[in-house]
Amino acid sequence: MTDKIPFTKMHGCGNDYIYVNAMEHPIADPIAAAIAWSDRHKGIGSDGLVLIDRSPVPEADFSMRIFNADGSEAMMCGNASRCIGKFLYERGITTQTQLRLLTLSGVKMLELHVNDGIVESVTVDMGVPVLNDSTQFISRGLDKGTFVSMGNPHYVIFTDDIDQVGDTGRKLEVHPAFPQRCNIEFADVTTDGSIRTRVWERGSGITMACGTGACATAVAAALTGKARRNSQIIMDGGTLDIEWRESDNHVYMTGPAEFVFDGEIAMNKLQTT
């Protein structure tokens, strides 16, 4: 393996990850790399590590593996999916504007919105939300939120105190009702109908944004009558447009993706360009 690993730092609404083209630079120990490189004082600094690779199955064009800052592997990330679309297109790895991305939550469809060779935004078909019977959570003392799975678990609480995300989110992530831990969203519907949301991501803590969390929040808002099936979800790092389409019951997420910088990392030495 090379002594130096090229990487790209990208973010979607402030949800920042380290991206490595694993087609050219495989990572032998992504768990250890995610923990070391995500450190915001001693590493590159990020919410985690994303590996972009070829798809091992014909149903997809590329694959994604994502490791949180604590080394745990995530099922899916909407913000990372958009960044992958931008990376693949603008780095000349693909000329397609419709991409099939294999994740641990299945194949996700990406539609790239391109202007003069620049991917300005990406729409991701996030699939059909899975809704669990709320009684199992109420019986365990969780009666204030709505559980929605977007390929990964989310518990959405509507409240006028979304800044409890740190204290309460930390506790709820590891609540006994969630044996695999859970992402926790705190949301407040504003006067103009948009939804201000803060998120505690399992394995990463407070993040600037969460694509699947935005989708779960929009679904929860529609289920509880707080919003219609089209929502603007305003997170700490930016706004995502979410549509829970009636025609196919799929959730579609549209938002930006941005490059931050490229670099190379060698052992404990970090060089940026």
Element (H, E) at 81: helix 78-90
Query: By three-state DSSP, how is residue 172 classified?
Result: helix
Residues 13, 77, 182, 215: which is the catalytic one?
A: 77
For residue 156, give the nearest of 202, 187, 121, 195 by alpha carbon.
Answer: 187
Q: Catalytic residue at 83?
A: no
192: helix, strand or coil? coil
Contact 204, 68 (CB under 8 A): yes
3-state secondary structure 200-249: EECCCEEECCCHHHHHHHHHHHHHCCCCCCEEEEEECCEEEEEEECCCCC
Catalytic residue among 13, 182, 210, 215: 210
Q: Which residues contact 13 (CB under 8 A, 6 or more apart)?
A: 79, 208, 209, 235, 237, 238, 239, 240, 255, 256
Distances (CA, A) of 59 to 54, 176, 178: 12, 37, 31
Q: Are 160 and 131 in contact (CB under 8 A)?
A: no
C-alpha 225/C-alpha 107 separation (Å) is 30
What are the backbone dihedrals phi and psi of residue 223, each rounded to the nearest 5 degrees, phi first? Answer: -65, -35
Tell me if residue 13 is catalytic: no
Q: Return the active site residues.
A: 77, 210
